[in-house]
Structure formats: C-alpha cells, structure tokens
Amino acid sequence: MSNFQDSTVLVIGGSSGVGLATAQLLERLGAKVTIASRSLEKLKAAKRQLSDATQLLPLDITDSAQLQALRDGPAWQHLVISAAETPMGSLAALADDDARRAMDSKFWGAYNAAKYIPIADQGSITFVAGYLSLRPGKASALQSAINAALEALGRALALELAPVRVNTVSPGLLNTELWAGLAEDKREAMFDTVAKRLPVGRVGLAEDVAKAISFLIDNGYTSGSTVFVDGGGRIA
C-alpha cells in the first residue's frame, strides 16, 4: 500500500463504521487525519481507537452554515464523506419527514460538503453510496435513489472540480454497528442468508470499504469512478 505520509484527510462520519475504519487505515499509512461527526462524545470515543495526533471536528453535515464556516479555512488534501442518517422503509411506510431527513443527510450533506470544504489541487473527494443504486430491494426506493444520485454527483463533480478527483465507493451489506439495534439472532440470520447468496461467501466489513477508499485517494489516474465493494451482490 502507498505511503500517505503527512497527507491531510478529513473523514466526515469518522466516528464509526466505514469512516472510522478509513481513518484507522489512513493513519497507519501516515496520513494526518481529522474525523468529523455531530456527536462530540462519539468523536472522543473513536479517538481512543486512533492516534494521539487525530483531530476532532464536531460537525453536522445537514447544517450548511457549519459547512460554509469551513470555506475560508485551510484546504485538506483529501475529503471522505461517509456520514449519513438514512431511515429506511417502503414508499408507503416511510414518513415524509424521515424521507426528507435521509435525503438531507446522505445527499445534500455530501453535496454541500463538496461545495464548501476547500480541497487542494490534485486532491480528492470520495463519497460513500451503496450498491442499492443498481440492486434495489422491495422496500428501498429512497435508498436506491439517494445512492444513484450520489454516484451521478461524483461523476459530474469530477468534471466540474477538476483537477480535484472525485470518486464514489458503493458498499453492499456490511457487518457494522449500523445493525446494532437489530436483535442478535435476527441480525446473524440476515448475515447468514446474504452470505450464502454472495459469490464471496460472506458479508462485508468496514475495513473492506476502507481499502477501496484508500485506493481511490491514492490513485491519481482515477476520477469519476464508482467502485462497488459488495461481495458480488450486484450479480448474485
């Protein structure tokens, strides 16, 4: 793997899941990492799993004023956006306010972060979407639409923001704390069912996605791309 010695990276959503795994990996490769999250308590808890040099940034990605406040600050070399609060449900069951909250968090939050946060020339932005963009479920219309919109945003911004490179990672089902609210037996049954369907024979881990993000940050000849880290879920 490449050496990210002294590269400055802002990971929005870096207090848990894919964001935290990405911060851990990039620090091991020498990057200077700042993790951002709405919750200062979660940030402090995450820092116990990171280096003493990790910087913490309380930030609500749905608050454009907070993002605009970063506009005149120093430019980061790389930005990773994995933060999202996305309630799920069918078209009939998902409340209008919850649907708007999901869009505000995962799409508009990423859009405004890319708009206002300064990135150095030759730097990069990496969005985290999801494979539902191509493999929707029966009760995932909104999630599928948001993920597809993020992928399209990444391709368009790769042109608009050049020479900054913009890419997207789209994971499949991951065994992360996102599912902590589900009863253990139901959670394990879900993972087992999906694992049997996938060509790789297992569900994903946050570390799998972090490796893909690291690749996209490092590869200076990759922009406007979507990398699927789904265990073959799109074809299964």
Which residues make Cβ contacts (< 8 Å) with residue 162, sequence separation at least 6?
223
CA dihedral 123, 163, 209, 171 (to 10 degrees): 150
For residues 134 and 14, give the distance between their C-alpha atoms in angstroms, rounded to a whole number.
26
| Domain limits, the chain | 8-175+205-228
Rounded to an integer, the average pLDDT of 56-72 is: 96
pLDDT, position 1 = 53
Task: Determine whether domain 8-175+205-228 maps to CATH 3.40.50.2300.
Answer: no
CA distances from 36 to 59, 90, 95, 106, 135 (A): 6, 30, 28, 15, 30
**Helices of type H across the chain:** 17-28, 40-47, 64-68, 96-102, 109-116, 141-160, 184-197, 206-218
pLDDT, position 182 = 82
Q: What is the pTM of this model?
A: 0.95
pLDDT in tens, 142-198: 999 999 999 999 999 999 999 999 999 999 999 998 787 788 888 899 999 999 999
Say how many residues make up the chain.
Answer: 236
Longest CA–CA span in the chain (Å) reads 50
Strand, coil or helix: what is 165? Answer: strand
- The chain-wide mean pLDDT, for the chain, equals 94
- pLDDT above 90: residue 201: yes
Strand, coil or helix: what is 116? Answer: helix
- 98 and 34 Cβ atoms separated by less than 8 Å: no
pLDDT in tens, 89-120: 888 888 999 999 999 999 999 999 999 999 99
- 192 and 183 Cβ atoms separated by less than 8 Å: no
pLDDT, position 180 = 78
For residues 102 and 109, give the distance between their C-alpha atoms in angstroms, rounded to a whole number.
10
pLDDT, position 3 = 73
Instruction: Specify the amino acid at residue 215.
Output: F
